[in-house]
Structure 1
Amino acid sequence: MKQATLLLVLVVFSLLPACQHSSTPEKESMVLIPAGEFQLGMPVSDNIPAFMSDRTSSANAQPMQNMHLDAFYIDRFEVTYADFLAFKPSARYAEGRANHPVRGISWHEADAYCLWSGKRLPTEFEWEKAARGEDGRLFVWGNELDKSKANFGKTPQPVGSVKGDVSVYGVQDMNGNVSEWTASWYQPYPKSWHKDANFGENFKVIRGGAYNKREHGFMEQFAMVPYRNVAPPTMRTWNTGFRCAQSVGKTESGNPG
């Protein structure tokens, strides 16, 4: 009888880590971003190229301001093809890209994947804080563009392979590789004077620089982490992927963590 009781206790204790793991973000796969203020937005500049539209002008990311966010978790790496195929086994992609960031994913597919995994898409404010920290830097490494520190080349790279592209919190590939969907609709910032007919609930915000297929089209401004790009949630583009986030203390189904 004693032996049977001891065996039962051992079985229960052996299962505890697995039970806890189901509601707690993995330390290796997610990063905790602490609560507190950070500097949101772009500094005011009159140097806006004439060809830029309201949707592509950095005026939509002004004024620069302090913003407080609660603590949250965010994926250390962009979601890969291998990750996405676990969610959608019927999807087909070229071989040899299992550890590359999945791309050509609509916002709806990205949102569905995050919810399936017990997470959610980050808001654009969460994404920006995770990328730039609290000191208002324009790139994850500082205020000067250095193309060697992120993947701004002609092809995507495996996640985490460019060692310079890591934020102060340890989140990787936020400045290059692929741009990323966020949960946020394209809306004006608090205290903004900028007018844009596209504001509303027609476009989702995309964040982060990306690799570039074309020789032309790369601009320093597009690579700045506070820069806002937008697209309809149904659109699939060759340079856009995503990563997930999670609120502290609960899974995104609303259950306590």
Structure 2
Amino acid sequence: KFGTLYYDGRFHPRPSLENYPINNITWNAADEYCKWKEKRLPTEAEWEKAARGTSAQAYPWGNISPSNTLARYFQTWTKEEKHNVMVPVQALAEGQSPYGLHNMAGNVKEWVDDWYDREYYNEQSEYANPRGPIGGEFKVVRGGSWRDLKGFIYSTYRNSGNPNSRMDDYGFRCAKNAAPASGEKKLTSRVVPRNNG
């Protein structure tokens, strides 16, 4: 019923949940938390690269089908675990991404910075790191969660969420800008959304 974080002018983890993902948080609160930590929410493209690396692997850990040693998803529930549905952030080390990130598939879905447009990636983008539409009604969530079947926790799975809603299986992770490599072009434009009427 409650998230792993509470706010009283500062953000605090709930006792005994310090090592769990932050959950049950709106997109706006996730964005505010990242800014408070002098970071930001990742773009959808950044999130996906962090999950799968530079290869086309299906899952953060490779192309092996999910199991309960790799990811936390719906089929891993047992009677003993029914009230403890998330796992700590460092759990399931075998399921790490190529960059060493834990739980990029399963555990909690993750808010990213982009607005959602279900057709956005059906068109070729001229950018290596597209920033998504400049506006919309819903924000993108990535990664799947403990509520999802294993068919929904692959690296490219994307969904949408109302940025004002709190879900017990929605969380986030923060990103920080890296200094651009020599000669690298900095992305500055956003795509204007189409009317999906």
Shift of 1:209: 1.9
In structure 2, the CA distance between the partners of 1:121 and 1:137, relative to structure 1 (3 Å rule), is same
The answer as to whether partners of 2:106 and 2:145 remain within 8 angstroms in 1 is: yes
TM-score, structure 2 length as denominator? 0.71
The answer as to whether partners of 1:87 and 1:113 remain within 8 angstroms in 2 is: no
The answer as to whether partners of 1:82 and 1:99 remain within 8 angstroms in 2 is: no
1:218 paired to 2:172: no
Number of aligned residues: 157
Residue of structure 1 aligned with 2:139, choices 185, 204, 212: 204
Shift of 1:144: 3.0
In structure 2, the CA distance between the partners of 1:175 and 1:246, relative to structure 1 (3 Å rule), is same
Paired letter, 2:35: L
Q: Note the alpha carbon deviations across 1:67-111, whole angstroms, 9 max, x for none.
A: xxxxxxxxxxxxx9479789335x8x4x42121111100000000
In structure 2, the CA distance between the partners of 1:159 and 1:83, relative to structure 1 (3 Å rule), is farther
Q: Note the alpha carbon deviations across 1:154-210, whole angstroms, 9 max, x for none.
A: 410111111112111111110121110000001212626xxxxxx951010000021
Residue of structure 2 aligned with 1:143, choices 63, 81, 93: 63
Identity %: 38
Work out the CA distance in 2 between the residues paired with 1:240 and 1:84: 17
Residue of structure 1 aligned with 2:92, choices 156, 162, 166: 162
The answer as to whether partners of 1:106 and 1:235 remain within 8 angstroms in 2 is: yes
Work out the CA distance in 1 between the residues paired with 2:93 and 2:34: 26
Shift of 1:147: 1.6
Residue of structure 2 aligned with 1:109, choices 9, 18, 29: 29
Corresponding residue number in structure 1 for 2:129: none
Corresponding residue number in structure 1 for 2:20: 100
In structure 2, the CA distance between the partners of 1:244 and 1:135, relative to structure 1 (3 Å rule), is same
Residue of structure 1 aligned with 2:108, choices 175, 178, 182: 178
1:87 paired to 2:10: yes
Instruction: Name structure 1 gaps, 5 residues minimum.
Output: 1-79, 193-198, 251-257
Residue of structure 2 aligned with 1:241, choices 171, 191, 195: 171
3-state DSSP of counterpart to 1:245: coil
In structure 2, the CA distance between the partners of 1:126 and 1:83, relative to structure 1 (3 Å rule), is farther
The answer as to whether partners of 1:84 and 1:113 remain within 8 angstroms in 2 is: no
Paired letter, 1:203: F
3-state DSSP of counterpart to 2:29: helix
Work out the CA distance in 2 between the residues paired with 1:130 and 1:230: 19
The answer as to whether partners of 2:112 and 2:142 remain within 8 angstroms in 1 is: yes
CA RMSD of aligned residues (A): 2.6
Residue of structure 2 aligned with 1:126, choices 37, 40, 46: 46
* 1:42-61 correspondence runs (5 A): none
Work out the CA distance in 2 between the residues paired with 1:128 and 1:157: 21
4+ runs deviating over 3 angstroms: 80-87
Higher helix share: 1
Paired letter, 2:139: K
The answer as to whether partners of 2:138 and 2:162 remain within 8 angstroms in 1 is: yes
Q: Note the alpha carbon deviations across 1:40-81, whole angstroms, 9 max, x for none.
A: xxxxxxxxxxxxxxxxxxxxxxxxxxxxxxxxxxxxxxxx94
Corresponding residue number in structure 1 for 2:81: none
Work out the CA distance in 2 between the residues paired with 1:176 and 1:86: 30
